[in-house]
Amino acid sequence: MTVAEDFRTVPPFEVLSPAQQRVPFVFNSPHSGRHYPERFLSMTRLDRNAIRRSEDCYVEALFGGAVGLGAPLLAANFPRAYLDVNREPWELDPRMFAEPIPPFANIRSARVAGGLGTVPKLVGEGLDIYPGRLPLAEAVDRIETIYKAYHNELKRLVTRTHAQFGFAVLVDCHSMPTSIRVGENGARPDFIIGDRFGVSAAPAFSEHAISLLLSMGYSVAHNKPYAGGFITEHYGRPAKGLHTLQIEVNRGLYMNERTFQKTPGFEALAQDLQRFCADLMALPDAYFLSHPLAAE
């Protein structure tokens, strides 16, 4: 069995597309995949519930309203525990594999140290995924077959959008555990907006996104503890008209984290997020074309 066979009946990812793209926005949900291949489950030491601890459950559905507003949405079907495309392609922990890993791999990143590399070692709060070492060929197959194809598709969507509209806005959609606390008083944020501390998107755009959510009655943090991962860092180039914003949604707003079931708050939140997306899309082009770095 191979990675390709893991996704023979379910594609590893899919693009939800409007009949016509009407706005310079692309939405991305890289961690909401819920197809756990039987071959993968046979490799893990975790049961079918525990393996889902890192999953951004239903995030692609929460932001699905963006498609009706004229923006494409790229959504993973492969689970984050299987492969994390919000990492560099070769962020690998050598302790996970039976053979030496390639010399070009990044083995010293903070994400690898935390067990959250491209092929993760852990899920949730420190649960080991595998009982022993994996064949290196398993990681290589996942990266070559799915990781690279996913990023090729994301790059295609962003490049096409930029060519059509003169700029592109990538909204990277995620969820976070209810346990997350921020600030000196340990407040629980409903949302965290990440822009790599002003590097991945025009500050005015980030500020407007935060203001919109605050006006809806939500609590919002900015960049802490989540400023954005590889996707935000890699695709956000405001000086070139490429803006990337990461949005983290508190899972307690819409689901039961123990049973993975939607709660009554799901529909109301999805409606709020559709209104939020519509308001972002209504921003004047000047928000994105007048970035101070654009003249450099």
Residue 19 to residues 70, 77, 83, 199, 296: CA-CA distances in angstroms?
8, 22, 30, 33, 36
- Give 137-185 pLDDT, tens digit per residue: 999 999 999 999 999 999 999 999 999 999 999 999 999 999 888 877 7
Q: Are 120 and 112 in contact, with CB atoms under 8 Å apart?
A: no
Give me the chain's average pLDDT, please. Answer: 95
- Averaged pLDDT for residues 96-106: 96
In a domain, 124, yes or no: no
Degrees, nearest 5: CA angle 65-198-53? 55
Q: What is the per-residue pLDDT for 137?
A: 97
- Averaged pLDDT for residues 32-42: 97
Q: What is the per-residue pLDDT for 287?
A: 85
AA letter at 253: L
In a domain, 127, yes or no: no
Output the six-digit token pair for 189.
Answer: 């944020």
> Does the pLDDT of residue 45 top 70, yes or no?
yes
Q: What is the per-residue pLDDT for 221?
A: 96
> Does the pLDDT of residue 292 top 80, yes or no?
no
AA letter at 53: R
Number of structural domains, the chain? 1
> Dihedral (C-alpha) 37, 41, 46, 48: value to the nearest 10 degrees?
50
DSSP E strand boundaries for 214-263: 220-222, 242-250, 255-256, 261-262
Q: What is the per-residue pLDDT for 54?
A: 94
* Rounded-to-integer distance, Cα 125 and Cα 128, Å: 9
Residue-level length of the chain: 296
Q: What is the per-residue pLDDT for 291?
A: 52
Q: Residue 13 in 3-state DSSP?
A: strand
Cis-peptide, bond into residue 238, ω within 30° of zero: no
Q: Residue 180 in 3-state DSSP?
A: coil
In a domain, 191, yes or no: yes
> Does the pLDDT of residue 2 top 60, yes or no?
yes
Residue with tokens 């990538």: 170
Q: What is the per-residue pLDDT for 293?
A: 46
Q: What is the per-residue pLDDT for 295?
A: 35
Domain around 79: 3-85+140-283
DSSP 106: B
In a domain, 20, yes or no: yes
Q: Of 209, 268, 264, 199, give the one whose Cα is nearest residue 236.
A: 199
CATH number of residue 146's parent domain: 3.40.630.40
Residue 265 parent element (H or E): helix 265-281
Buried b (16+ CB within 10 A) or exposed e, 85-98: bbbbbbbbbeebbe
**Which segments of the chain does DSSP mark as H helices, in order?**
3-6, 38-43, 59-62, 65-68, 110-113, 136-142, 148-165, 203-215, 230-235, 265-281, 286-289
- Give 237-260 pLDDT, tens digit per residue: 999 999 999 999 999 999 999 999
- pLDDT band at residue 290 using 50, 70 and 90 as cut-offs: low
Output the six-digit token pair for 43.
Answer: 């490799």
In a domain, 43, yes or no: yes
Q: What is the per-residue pLDDT for 296?
A: 35
Q: Of 270, 230, 255, give the one whose Cα is nearest residue 80.
A: 230
In a domain, 92, yes or no: no
> Does the pLDDT of residue 72 top 70, yes or no?
yes
- Averaged pLDDT for residues 264-282: 98
